[in-house]
């Protein structure tokens, strides 16, 4: 069953076309990777899907309903949450309180938000960090906190924007395990933008590739790794040779 249907989405910023006639679907239960070189339009597309940017043309259908014209908070209430490349947490709030901010999307009760935040932190093995300020934590822990905050809104679809950026191999494995945990144990659909190919190719059921604002490929990881257009635009011959 189709969860997300992106139909001919175009996004212009004045004379700059960031997304051009992009179409793809995401099925329920699927884990979808979104890759491409810097400037390909990946984050802009996330911003359009999540309601941060209005589209210039096209439609976005979520669970069979048109969400194209909805604002970001309205999209979030429908069950679509996202993280950002740079997590800007309040310096006055600790980890638990930052996660509670996400929980307030579903409840006005402080006690319920606190209880839900505690459950999420335990699920992601972050409970020992609950009293720390987020900006006191190493980058890898901050990345997991931003996931926890997004989970607080009880999403059906989680959009992850470069959660592995700047991490070392062991930290990448930890993030990969967290994503799999969220997807497999909680049953939350995940779409992720990522430049760490070892992660995105290992974890994704399907991969969509953008280049210069256009979709150039859509297929399973093996198909994408061997696609001549993707190799030329992004992966390079060395990656292709190493993964054949």
**pLDDT, tens digit (0-9, with 9 covering 90-100), for 188-213:** 999 999 998 888 999 999 999 999 99
Same domain for 51 and 111, yes or no, is no
Same domain for 114 and 209, yes or no, is no
Q: DSSP letters of 214-229? A: EEEEEE-HHHHHT-HH
At 148-203, the pLDDT tens digits run 999 999 999 999 999 888 889 999 999 999 999 999 999 999 999 999 888 899 99
Of 154, 180, 196, the last residue of a domain is 154
Domain-embedded: residue 84: no
**What is the residue range of 99's domain?**
89-154
At 61-108, the pLDDT tens digits run 999 999 999 999 999 999 999 998 766 655 678 999 999 999 999 999
Same domain for 163 and 73, yes or no, is yes
Residues 6+ apart with CB under 8 A from 28: 1, 2, 3, 189
Domain with residue 61: its CATH number is 3.40.50.300
pLDDT at 210: 97
Distance CA(49)–CA(4), nearest Å, equals 9
At 127-141, the pLDDT tens digits run 999 999 988 888 889
Q: Which two tokens stand for residue 149?
A: 């905050």
pLDDT at 12: 97
pLDDT at 244: 64
Is pLDDT at 239 greater than 80 in this prediction? no
State in Å, rounded, how far the first CA of the chain is from the last one. Answer: 32
CA 2 to chain centroid, in Å, comes to: 18
Q: Are 43 and 49 in contact (CB under 8 A)?
A: no
Same domain for 144 and 219, yes or no, is no
Distance CA(74)–CA(152), nearest Å, equals 16
Is pLDDT at 48 greater than 80 in this prediction? yes
Of 154, 187, 210, the last residue of a domain is 154
Q: What are phi and psi of 168, to 5 degrees?
A: -85, 170
Same domain for 178 and 161, yes or no, is yes
Q: How many CA atoms lie within 13 A of 133 on its CB side?
A: 8
> In total, how many domains does the chain have?
2
Q: What are phi and psi of 220, to 5 degrees?
A: -75, 165
Lowest mean pLDDT among 6-10, 50-54, 57-61, 162-166: 162-166
Distance CA(88)–CA(70), nearest Å, equals 24
Tell me what the pLDDT averaged over the chain comes to: 93
């Amino acid at each position: 069953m189709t969860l997300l249907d992106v139909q001919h989405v175009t996004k212009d910023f004045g004379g700059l076309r960031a997304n051009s006639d992009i179409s793809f679907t995401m099925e329920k239960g699927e884990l979808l990777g979104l890759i491409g070189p810097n400037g390909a339009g990946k984050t802009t597309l996330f911003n359009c899907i999540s309601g941060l940017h209005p589209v210039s043309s096209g439609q976005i259908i979520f669970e069979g309903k048109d969400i194209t014209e909805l604002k970001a908070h309205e999209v979030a209430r429908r069950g679509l949450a996202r993280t950002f490349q740079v997590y800007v947490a309040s310096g006055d709030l600790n980890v638990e309180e930052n996660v509670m901010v996400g929980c307030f999307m579903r409840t006005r009760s402080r006690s319920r938000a606190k209880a839900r935040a505690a459950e999420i932190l335990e699920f992601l093995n972050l409970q020992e960090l609950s009293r720390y300020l987020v900006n006191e934590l190493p980058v890898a822990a901050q990345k997991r906190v931003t996931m926890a905050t997004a989970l607080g809104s009880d999403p059906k679809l989680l959009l992850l924007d470069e959660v592995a950026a700047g991490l070392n191999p062991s930290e990448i494995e930890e993030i990969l395990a967290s994503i799999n945990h969220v997807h497999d144990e909680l049953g939350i659909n995940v779409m992720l933008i990522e430049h760490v190919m070892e992660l995105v190719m290992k974890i994704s059921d399907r991969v969509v590739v953008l280049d210069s604002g256009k979709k150039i490929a859509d297929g399973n990881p093996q198909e994408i790794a061997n696609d001549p257009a993707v190799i030329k635009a992004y992966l390079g011959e060395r990656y292709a040779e190493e993964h054949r």
